[in-house]
C-alpha cells in the first residue's frame, strides 16, 4: 500500500485527479470504477477542468460506479445516477451507455446486483478503482463485518452511514436502509485502487485501514491484500498514523517519486 500524505486537502485532490487523468492519457479505453460522496466532488471538478483544457477524454472509457440506493430511481435527486450526471457525466465526452451504475429501482435488487457483478467481470474487471472512505471504515457500501470476499450484492446500511448521507435527502427519514454495492472481492479484482480521504473525521478509519489488523471490522483494511493501492490523505486524515514518519520519508509531502 502506497501512502501519500499531502499538506492540504486541495493538494490531495489534485494528486488523485492527476492519477485518473494520467491513466486516461496512457489508456484511453480504461475501465474506471467510480465513487460518489462529498470527497469526490472536487476530484470530478478537476477532471472536468482537465477535459475542458483538452488534456483528457472519456470518449473511449467505460465506468462502473460502486453503489446505488435500493428503491431510488435514476432521476431522483438523491440517486447516485443523478449525482454522477451532475458532477461528471453531463460535462465530459463519455458516451451514453458507457457509464453504468446499478439500477436502484430494479424489480429485483438481488438480480440487479448479480447482473452488475457479471457486467463488471465481462468488461474484464475494473482497471482503476477510485474509492472514498467511510468514517466507519467502509468502502463502497461494504459496512463493517462485510465479507472480505463479497461480490456485488444488497447491503443494509448502518445508522451512522445513513446519518452521514442524510444531507443529500430533503428528509433524513427518506435515506434508504438498503443499497446495492460492489463487494470487497469485486474491488480487490481491480488492477489498481486509488483511495482519497481527508479531514479529521477519517483519521481513525485511515489508521485502521493502513495499520490495523486485516479485519472485516474495517472493510477498507482488505486493501492491505491488494497489490497496487495508493492511499492519498491530507494531514488531518493522516494524524493518527503510527508510522507517519516513514510515509513522509518515502514520499515527502505526498510526492510519488523515489527519494
Ligand atoms: C460512495 C461510496 C462511499 C463513500 C464514503 C465517503 O459511492 O461508496 O464509500 O466514498 O462514504 O463519503 P464522503 O466522501 O461523503 O465522506
Burial environment of residue 15 by CB neighbours within 10 A (0 to 12, 13 to 18, 19 or more)? buried
* pLDDT value of position 259: 42
What residue segments make up the domains of the chain, in order of their start?
Answer: 2-254
Buried b (16+ CB within 10 A) or exposed e, 37-64: bebbebbbebbbebbeeeebebeebbbb
d(CA 37, CA 34): 10
| Smallest CA separation from ligand 1 atom 12, residue | 37
Atom of ligand 1 nearest to the CA of 132: 10
Burial environment of residue 205 by CB neighbours within 10 A (0 to 12, 13 to 18, 19 or more)? buried
Distance, CA 193 to ligand 1 centroid (Å)?
A: 15
Q: Which mutation among 38, 39, 222 tests ligand 1's pocket best, with the greatest number of atoms within 8 A of CB?
A: 39
Q: Is 67 in the pocket of ligand 1 (CB under 6 A)?
A: yes
Q: Which of 13, 63, 45 is nearest to 237 (CA)?
A: 13
Residues of the chain falling short of pLDDT 70: 257-259
Distance, CA 258 to ligand 1 centroid (Å)?
A: 31
The 3-class secondary structure across 128-143, one letter per residue, is EEEECCCCCCCECCEC
Sign of CA dihedral 28, 227, 146, 209: negative
Catalytic residue among 82, 138, 198, 251: 138
For residue 200, the tally of other CB atoms under 10 A from its CB is 13
d(CA 73, CA 116): 16
pLDDT in tens, 42-91: 999 999 999 999 999 999 999 999 999 999 999 999 999 999 999 999 99
- As assigned by CATH, the class of the 2-254 domain is alpha beta
Q: Mark whether 68 is an active-site residue.
A: no
Catalytic residue among 6, 65, 67, 251: 67
Q: Mark whether 245 is an active-site residue.
A: no
d(CA 119, CA 112): 10
- Please give the backbone phi and psi of residue 254, each rounded to the nearest 5 degrees, phi first: 80, 10
d(CA 92, CA 112): 27
Q: Is 36 in the pocket of ligand 1 (CB under 6 A)?
A: yes
Atom of ligand 1 nearest to the CA of 161: 11
- Cell 471490522 belongs to residue: 217
CA distances from 133 to 32, 91, 204, 244 (A): 18, 25, 11, 19
For residue 2, the tally of other CB atoms under 10 A from its CB is 13
C-alpha of 238 from chain center: 18
Answer yes or no: are the C-beta atoms of 13 and 254 closer than 8 Å: no
d(CA 144, CA 63): 26
d(CA 248, CA 3): 9
Amino acid at each position: 500500500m502506497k501512502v501519500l500524505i499531502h499538506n492540504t486537502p486541495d493538494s490531495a485532490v489534485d494528486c488523485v485527479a492527476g492519477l485518473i487523468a494520467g491513466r486516461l492519457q496512457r489508456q484511453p479505453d480504461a475501465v474506471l470504477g467510480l465513487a460518489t460522496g462529498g470527497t469526490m466532488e472536487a476530484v470530478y471538478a478537476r477532471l472536468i477542468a482537465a477535459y475542458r483544457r483538452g488534456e483528457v477524454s472519456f470518449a473511449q472509457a467505460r465506468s462502473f460506479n460502486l453503489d446505488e440506493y435500493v428503491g431510488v430511481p435514476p432521476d431522483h435527486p438523491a440517486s447516485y445516477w443523478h449525482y454522477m450526471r451532475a458532477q461528471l457525466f453531463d460535462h465530459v465526452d463519455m458516451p451514453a451507455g458507457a457509464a453504468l451504475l446499478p439500477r436502484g429501482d430494479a424489480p429485483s435488487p438481488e438480480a440487479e446486483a448479480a447482473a452488475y457483478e457479471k457486467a463488471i467481470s465481462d468488461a474484464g474487471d475494473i482497471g482503476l478503482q477510485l474509492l472514498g472512505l467511510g468514517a466507519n471504515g467502509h468502502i463502497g457500501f461494504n459496512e463493517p463485518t462485510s465479507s472480505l470476499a463479497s461480490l456485488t450484492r444488497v447491503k443494509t446500511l448502518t445508522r451512522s452511514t445513513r446519518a452521514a448521507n442524510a444531507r443529500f435527502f430533503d428528509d433524513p427519514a427518506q435515506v434508504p436502509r438498503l443499497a446495492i454495492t460492489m463487494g470487497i472481492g469485486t474491488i480487490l479484482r481491480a488492477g489498481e485502487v486509488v483511495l482519497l480521504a481527508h479531514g479529521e473525521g477519517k483519521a481513525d478509519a485511515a489508521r485502521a485501514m493502513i495499520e490495523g489488523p486485516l479485519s472485516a471490522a474495517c472493510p477498507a483494511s482488505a486493501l492491505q491484500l491488494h497489490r497496487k493501492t495508493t492511499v492519498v490523505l491530507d494531514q488531518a486524515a493522516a494524524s493518527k498514523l503510527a508510522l507517519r514518519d516513514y510515509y513522509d520519508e518515502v514520499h515527502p509531502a505526498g510526492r510519488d517519486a523515489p527519494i
